[in-house]
Amino acid sequence: MALIPLYGVIGNPIAHSLSPVMHNAAFSATGYAAHFNAFQVEDLESAMAGVKALGVAGLSVTLPHKTKVMEYLDWIDDQALKISAVNTVVNRQGRLCGYNTDVAGALTALQGRIELAGRRVLILGAGGAARALVYGVVKAGGRVAIVNRNIERGAALAKEFDAQGLAFSDIENFQAEVLVNTTSLGMAPESKLIPLSPTLLKPSMVVMDIVYNPLKTRLLEEAERCGAVTIDGLEMFVGQGALQFEMWTGQKAPLQVMRQAVLDQL
């Protein structure tokens, strides 16, 4: 009897992740015999050795491992190399191959609301998701500024992608037309947190939060209250997850099934 392929998401913390709900629903809907689990990983080196030893078929990679995981891969896609962040691993006959589907997931969500070329885009954070957003928005012609609690880290990321590094005190002067939160501030269970002062939000803005649990973060609530266009984290989450599913299975992703599975859980 053939073994059922095992897939999973690795991160720390990981209990909040709805990747298992989304991907198991997709496997079931398409008749693809596989199982997806969540793994809390602190020791990444040992975990990746285990992935190889056990023949895990594929991984989704989340905070804080998107950059560090690259050290344990056998091959990395050019785009992921440029971003220096991997969120998707495909096990091809024992060779672990890394990709980044965050870029496409984020750009699809943003470009459904606004043309990015020439727009001033403020990105909060400097982690793996931020790297994907900065890379994608710059490539789409946006004028990117980065704000991060660790100013040096934000400045280093800005320099790498020909963007602008800002202090929190400079945000208002930048006059952002698009704001994207890539930090975990506002994620359940700390859903009262907000990554910047609501007074900096404007009715003319498009505001996106990559946090999807809760679906309407405090940042999005405040943005909606002031009249801004909002994009919740579910759009990017399902978009990047659909691309992962297609890489792993070779089948067309059942987008509506995946979206509804996450919505039902939320």
The DSSP 8-state label assigned to residue 12 in this structure reads S
Report the alpha-carbon distance of residue 266 to residue 261 in Å, rounded: 9
| Residue carrying structure tokens 């400079």 | 170
Provide the token pair at 52.
Answer: 């190889």
- Residue 2 burial class via C-beta count within 10 angstroms: exposed 0-12, middle 13-18, buried 19 and up: exposed
| Residue carrying structure tokens 């709805």 | 18
Residues in the chain, how many?
A: 266
Report which secondary-structure segment, H or E, holds 72. none
Provide the token pair at 18.
Answer: 């709805």
Tell me, yes or no, if 252 is annotated catalytic: no
The string of DSSP letters for 155-196 reads: HHHHHHTT-EEE-GGGHHHH--SEEEE-S-TT-TT-TT--SS
Residue from 181, 182, 210, 215 nearest 198 by CA: 181
Q: Please report, for residues 29, 208, 215, the alpha-carbon distance to residue 260 in angstroms, rounded to integers and kept in the order given.
A: 12, 20, 13
Q: Which one of the listed residues 66, 202, 216, 252 is annotated catalytic? A: 66
With a CB cutoff of 8 Å and minimum separation 6, the contacts of 111 are 140
Residue 68 near residue 96, CB atoms below 8 Å = no
Q: Which residues are catalytic?
A: 66
